Structure 1
């Protein structure tokens, strides 16, 4: 069984900025002050983003503040998703359909989104039915910890049937490649997010794609690994 962990933003979908706008609105609402002009989000976890936002305005990084911020963020995200010109990225639907048809493949998530936000985004774009488990961004500010959670979730969902040499992490940032290495997975990088091929090449993924418009390239690599 091959276990494939997908990132969401910049890999499967582009939400048209609904996530960042929801972060801004939630922060202003809960703490009655504006967030910084720039909010770095690429490859990061929501918990880590919140920590840095709090620090930028000398707000305590407490569980209470996190929970208030999280609740407001989810509420605004529900409102913003339908208002923004988001889209599913090229080739994603076909790729997921092809993978879902393969008995030797299990699909999971490895995302910096908090779990509720992850499912909201995937449901909005009609992709949620492909995934049953994952690691999410509410527990830790570090993506490697999310990768550990994703691996644990896969083992639980598959009754322990996870082989280290059949793990894959698919994402659009160097941090996705880094966390793949952390759990011993193969890394597939796709240049559909904020990082170009040069950035991703420096991260040294096992496979680098411009997008998934020709999913056969990745599917062939998967089949070769299955036969090995």
Structure 2
């Protein structure tokens, strides 16, 4: 049995800055910050890590209360700005998901720094949300490796339940995991859970930077479907 975990931004979709814009608008509305710091990095990080660093940078208390206030305001704003931005589903994504869906030996999930509601908003906008049955999200975690562990736990639960539904009991198969993402953080968190790391160059990270992380497979984009399926089939063989 193989589990394939996808990052979202830069791997499945480009939102043309919708997430960053929603962050900025929310900080302006909630905390009076007219322009969020450009020194705070977004790529490869959890929403919680980004929000807490922005709070600290701008003198806002990084409290649980402020985090919950942020989430409550951020999600509706994200839903508003997504249609205003001219984003896109990245090459090969739909075709790859279609191919993976055909196999009963492959479970498809998410491993993303987005909070769950943000992930749902983005992927629903691009009509992809119902492709994923489970995931690990950035609601509670700052470190991507912790999100990876949560995604792995969710995948194990999903696989066990699926096997129960088909046969009345789990069949004892070992579960192997493939993580597909566009940043060094995706490769790192794949390694943290013992997963195969597939890196794609669709997120803007320079090739040499991703090469240095030594992924198991490096692709220009997800239209290189056969190369991905070889990795998955070698895992499930």
| CA offsets 1:132-171 (integer angstroms, 9 cap, x no match) | 1000001011000100110111112122869776111110
TM-score where L is the length of structure 1: 0.95
| Equivalent residue number for residue 223 of structure 2 | 213
Residue of structure 1 in register with 2:11 after alignment: 11
Structure 1 CA distance for aligned equivalents of residues 155 and 67 of structure 2: 27
Mark the CA change 1:163 to 1:180 in structure 2 (over 3 Å): closer, same or farther: farther
1:190, 1:211 within 8 Å by CA — same for their partners in 2?
yes
For the residue of structure 2 that corresponds to 1:204, the secondary structure is coil
Structure 1 unpaired stretches of 5+:
none
The answer to whether the Cα contact below 8 Å between 2:178 and 2:232 also exists between their aligned partners in 1 is no
Alignment correspondent of 1:85: 86
Instruction: Assess, with a 3 A threshold, how the Cα gap between structure 1 residues 170 and 110 changes in structure 2: closer, same or farther.
Output: same
Kindly indicate whether residue 196 of structure 2 is the aligned counterpart of residue 186 of structure 1: yes
Structure 2 unpaired stretches of 5+:
162-169
Q: Which stretch of structure 1 is more off in the superposition, 186-195 or 29-38?
A: 29-38
TM-score, normalised by the number of residues in structure 2: 0.92
Q: Report the Cα distance in structure 1 between the residues aligned to 2:134 and 2:216, rounded to whole angstroms.
A: 24
Q: Distance in 2 between matches of 1:123 and 1:11?
A: 16
| Residue 131 (1) aligns with residue 141 (2) | no
State the shift of 1:72 in Å: 1.3
Taking the aligned partners of 1:210 and 1:64, their CA distance within structure 2 comes to 41
Partner in structure 1 of residue 33 of structure 2:
33
CA distance in structure 2 between the aligned counterparts of 1:169 and 1:193, rounded to whole angstroms: 15
Report how many aligned residue pairs link the two structures: 227
Structure 1 runs (4+) deviating above 6 angstroms are 160-165
Q: CA RMSD in A?
A: 1.5
Match for residue 102 of structure 1?
103
Deviation per CA, 1:66-98: give whole Å up to 9, x if none.
Answer: 111111111110100000000000111100100
1:69–1:213: structure 2 CA closer, same or farther, 3 Å change rule? same
